[in-house]
Amino acid sequence: MATAKRLYLYIVSAVGLGLVLAAATTLLRLLLDQLGIHPVDPFALPPSNGAIDFVSPPADAVRESLSTAVGLLVVGLPLLLIHWGLVERLVRGDGVEAQAERQSIVRSFFFAALLGTLLVLAATSTVDVIREGLARPLGAFDPYARVDVAGSAAWAMSFWAAWIYFARVRARDLRQGPTIRRAAAWISRFYLYGAAFVGLVVAVVSLTAIIGTFLDLLARPEGMGNGFGGQVLVAGLTVPTAAWWVRPVLAAAAMAVIWGYLWIGHWLYADGLNTRGDEQGQEERASRVRIAFFIGLVAVGVGLTASAFGQGIGALVGYVVGAPPNFDALPLWRDAIGIPVSAAPAIAVWWFHRRRGAEDRATADGSVLRAIRPMDYGTALIGLAFLTGGLVGVLGRLFQHAAVADPGFVGVPSWLADSALYVGFAAAGLAVWLWPWLAIQRRLQLDRPSEVRSSSRRYFLFFVVGASVVAVTYSLAIIVSQAVRVAVGLDSSAFGYTVSYPLAFLAVAAVVLVFHATVLRRDLALGTEAREPVEGAREAAQLPLGSNRELVIVGPEGADVDALRATLAATLPAGYSLAVRPAGEAPAS
């Protein structure tokens, strides 16, 4: 009954809020239009002076919009006030019912979905306002798109107002308590860390775009052919515009500032919860969502870095073999050095979150490997993806070139240029894969049983083996089907071209499968051996029950006992302790 009541109140409140926001944005837009902020329509017939026309809506359209907004407001506002008032009454005070309401899954989902939606819409609208507000005075507008600054400003003001109110309400829930647990806590953290994750990723991509644009400016000051510079032709008239690089930089800078601010705000709030000394802080420190946040950002940093360095290495290889990566006559340094340099923000994200994630786990439960292992195996997986993808691309293009005549493009064999790029990706992937894989091998030498039994390693190996099996099976299916077509007398002229990439997939996936299946088989065999009773275990099992019994773990010579102790300590129930003593010391009496 309580869940059904909550669903009704929160759903109807959301509907009422949607009606109020639609009305508010319409009214604000009309107000801004009256203040002289009009849409820009370059396709309207320009006046005689050749300037871009600022189009005002006709009087009938204004009255139509006003009547619609009033109707939505008259219906939506009472609907929102009544139902949200009932919701606020449920959480008022510190009674049992109020505490249960603040801890409910429905309330957590409502705030996560609402705040996430409002945040994305408010941020994108604000970016539009800032971009066009700066670009218009500088003449860096898009002459082929209708821009409605008033509409974007109205959306931004309405969405930010709603987001601020509901964010304060949810923050009040956390202050008043009790501690939100289980699924409700997971949903709340998903919004908090998800917003920080998206904000940082967008900011990093925007900073990368800014760096790339300035590198393009250094490589070719007159323009890259993908922007508007000097003047353009609109509606039969020549319209002056700013330099080609101004608008891309303004757009990327607006996104970096807004989304970077959102990342900072959500990250500082989440970190504040993490450092609290109460039960809420303990829950945050033990949260898997927080670990996933660090792992995800490390993966993003690794992926962007590998892609940038793959392109840079590919440019160098293409230069060596006489197949440049582009046909714009750009200097070699633009691709070979400039693209890797533009990955500096991604490298910083990778380094910072790997280090911070490890420190977080060390502070929470003393188990650094709980963060390091998934980061390492995730990095190895990304590197393996680039490595195998590059090898498949190289082999596929070589097989295609051998099967059919390639006329080339602008005097350069296209298969050679493509292969050079694929070689770059394979080289970058190899480096990214080797770095964590060698660290994993060192951990295996120190404490093989602990590493072999880790969930991260098992997930990694089973995923790679499974993906390789699928790739081998799918490639074989295509090759066999094409061979059958030839056997039954169908056209065989394109047989070699058709099976080129399946053959490449088959060759690479088979090697990956054999290697990782061998590693997995050894791990599983070690797990079976570890389950056999060690010397003295059978005798210990026959001892009478008592409070002074000990669990003795025998490891190989030189094993990292402290790391193993930290890992086991994180899983002990209440009342148990774990100590390390020299080998051979008599058990405690």
Query: What is the reported pLDDT for 538?
Result: 42
Query: What is the reported pLDDT for 413?
Result: 57
Dihedral of the alpha carbons of 133, 139, 145, 146, in degrees to the nearest 10: 50
Query: What is the reported pLDDT for 510?
Result: 96
Instruction: Kindly report, residue by residue over 58-112, the tens digit of the pLDDT.
Output: 666 677 878 888 888 999 999 999 999 998 888 887 778 888 888 889 999 999 9
Does pLDDT of 373 surpass 60? Answer: yes
Q: What's the Cα-to-Cα distance from 192 to each of 115, 127, 188, rounded to whole Å?
A: 9, 21, 6
- At CA 435, angle to CA 389 and CA 297, rounded to 5? 75
Does pLDDT of 589 surpass 70? Answer: no
Cβ-based neighbours of 493, under 8 Å, separated by 6 or more: none
CB-count burial class (<10 Å; 0-12, 13-18, 19+) for 22: middle
Instruction: Kindly report, residue by residue over 224-281, the tens digit of the pLDDT.
Output: 544 444 444 444 444 445 677 788 888 899 999 999 999 999 999 888 888 777 777 7
d(C-alpha 425, C-alpha 339), whole Å: 13
Assess contact for 523 and 464: CB atoms under 8 A. no
d(C-alpha 79, C-alpha 74), whole Å: 9
Helix axis angle for 59-90 and 2-34, nearest 10°, is 150
Q: What's the chain's average pLDDT?
A: 81
Token representation of residue 248: 């891309």
Query: What is the reported pLDDT for 431?
Result: 96
In the structure, what pLDDT confidence band is assigned to residue 43 with cuts at 50, 70 and 90?
very low
What's the mean pLDDT in 533-553? 49
Query: What is the reported pLDDT for 232?
Result: 45
Which residues on adjacent β-strands are paired with residue 239? Answer: 232
Higher-pLDDT residue of 123 and 284 is 123
Does pLDDT of 478 surpass 90? Answer: yes
Instruction: Kindly report, residue by residue over 134-175, the tens digit of the pLDDT.
Output: 877 777 766 666 667 888 889 999 999 999 999 999 988 888
DSSP reduced 3-state for 252: helix
Which residues on adjacent β-strands are paired with residue 233? Answer: 238
DSSP reduced 3-state for 409: strand
Assess contact for 97 and 90: CB atoms under 8 A. yes
* Residue 8 identity: Y
Token representation of residue 68: 């619609």
Ramachandran category for residue 145: left, alpha or beta (phi over 0 → left; psi -120 to 50 → alpha): beta
d(C-alpha 343, C-alpha 341), whole Å: 5
Instruction: Kindly report, residue by residue over 48-59, the tens digit of the pLDDT.
Output: 444 444 455 566
In the structure, what pLDDT confidence band is assigned to residue 584 with cuts at 50, 70 and 90?
low
Strands 230-234 and 237-241: antiparallel
DSSP reduced 3-state for 227: coil
DSSP reduced 3-state for 132: helix
What's the mean pLDDT in 331-336? 84
Higher-pLDDT residue of 409 and 166 is 166
Range ranked top by mean pLDDT from 291-300, 491-500, 523-532: 291-300
Token representation of residue 348: 């910083």
In the structure, what pLDDT confidence band is assigned to residue 581 with cuts at 50, 70 and 90?
low
Range ranked top by mean pLDDT from 32-41, 435-444, 524-533: 435-444
Query: What is the reported pLDDT for 401?
Result: 80
On the CB side of 246, CA atoms within 13 Å amount to 16
**Which run of H or of E encompasses 241?**
strand 237-241
Q: Which ranges in 96-145 belong to alpha helices (H)?
A: 96-102, 105-138
Q: What share of the chain is helix, strand, coil (3-state, %, to 5)?
A: 75, 5, 25
Which residues on adjacent β-strands are paired with residue 298? Answer: none
Assess contact for 348 and 211: CB atoms under 8 A. no
**Which run of H or of E encompasses 430?**
helix 414-446
Cα 133 to its chain centre, rounded Å, is 29
d(C-alpha 268, C-alpha 233), whole Å: 48
Token representation of residue 210: 């800014």
Instruction: Kindly report, residue by residue over 424-444, the tens digit of the pLDDT.
Output: 999 999 999 999 999 999 998
Does pLDDT of 529 surpass 70? Answer: no
Q: How many helices (H) and strands (E) does the chain have?
A: 20, 2
Query: What is the reported pLDDT for 371?
Result: 84
Assess contact for 479 and 499: CB atoms under 8 A. yes
What's the mean pLDDT in 320-328? 70
d(C-alpha 447, C-alpha 456), whole Å: 15
In the structure, what pLDDT confidence band is assigned to residue 195 with cuts at 50, 70 and 90?
very high
In the structure, what pLDDT confidence band is assigned to residue 309 with cuts at 50, 70 and 90?
very high
Query: What is the reported pLDDT for 407?
Result: 47
What's the mean pLDDT in 1-18? 88
Which residues on adjacent β-strands are paired with residue 238? Answer: 233
Q: What's the Cα-to-Cα distance from 330 to each of 154, 326, 327, rounded to whole Å?
A: 43, 7, 8
Query: What is the reported pLDDT for 563?
Result: 63
Query: What is the reported pLDDT for 217?
Result: 83
